[in-house]
Chain A
Amino acid sequence: MADPMRIRAQSQGNNAVVRVLMSHEMETGQRKDSAGKTIPAWHITNVSATHNGKPVMSAEWGPAVAKNPFLQFTVKGAKAGDKIAVTWKDNRGDTRTDEATVS
């Protein structure tokens, strides 16, 4: 199981700015190890977020997203106390969901 994400959701006017730091290798599939063998790609392919359980955004990522990915987005109409949950899934089928409260 992967390490938890760090999610911070801050209320800004009528919206909430959500910043997420995920913990993931994001191996590109381009690199070679010391024996010259290609290291297989291992990266997050899908990210989605919900606001109080309702889906608000989704994304598809390639291996070119940097290691330990950062993501920032803005949820409209989210108030302090609302729940923002973020889920990712990688190309090995591993998945993780973490939740934060808007402050």
Chain B
Amino acid sequence: AFAFNKNAFEAKSMADVVKAYGAGAPAESKDVTLTAPDIAENGAVVPMAAATGLSGVKHLLVLVEKNPNTLVAKFDVTDAVEANFSTRAKMSQTSDVYAVAIMNDGKALYTKKEVKVTLGGCGG
């Protein structure tokens, strides 16, 4: 039951991640919400939440575009949970953050927000 989509986690852009999950070209949508700070003082711990009120959601993804690998986390949505997940991510530098909803019909909808990082979280 524990699958791990290596292609998706090694992808370098939002479009490649969406492709790795077999979805079509992503479109911006107001129905997907992303909660993240405007400025993250510490890139090692950046709270972010992805949510949508749409029905028929298969996966919710959280992505940080300029990280070495774009995909942070993928959540499988079932009837038993709300399509609303919060976690904390690392960010290497100031970047656009994406919340992407992959729908049962293969559509990909996203919302993005720029988060400024004053101290990177990937060490060096």
**A64 close to B72 (CB less than 8 A):** yes
Nearest residue, chain A, Cβ from B122: A30
Nearest residue, chain A, Cβ from B123: A31
Q: Tell me how many residue pairs across A and B have CB atoms closer than 8 Å.
A: 114
Interface residues of B (CB under 8 A from A): 1-5, 8-9, 44-47, 49, 64, 67-69, 71-82, 84-92, 121-124
Closest A-B pairs by Cβ, 7 of them: A56-B80, A72-B86, A31-B123, A66-B88, A74-B82, A64-B72, A46-B2
| A26 CA to B84 CA, complexed, in Å | 23
**A75 close to B74 (CB less than 8 A):** no
Interface residues on A, range: 20 to 34
Taking the nearest CB of chain B, how far is it from the CB of A65, in angstroms?
Answer: 6
Q: Is A76 an interface residue (CB 8 A)?
A: yes
Binary flags per residue of A37-77, CB closer than 8 Å to B gives 1, else 0:
00000000110100100111111111111110111111111
Besides A65-B87, A89-B2, 4 other CB < 8 A contacts?
A54-B80, A58-B76, A60-B9, A67-B45
| A84 CA to B64 CA, complexed, in Å | 30
**A57 close to B9 (CB less than 8 A):** no
Taking the nearest CB of chain A, how far is it from the CB of B52, in angstroms?
Answer: 13
Q: Is A10 an interface residue (CB 8 A)?
A: no
Given contacts A46-B2, A57-B76, A60-B9, contact A70 B82 (CB under 8 A): no
| A70 CA to B87 CA, complexed, in Å | 5
**A65 close to B73 (CB less than 8 A):** yes
Among A28, A32, A64, A74, the residue within 8 A (CB) of B81 is A74
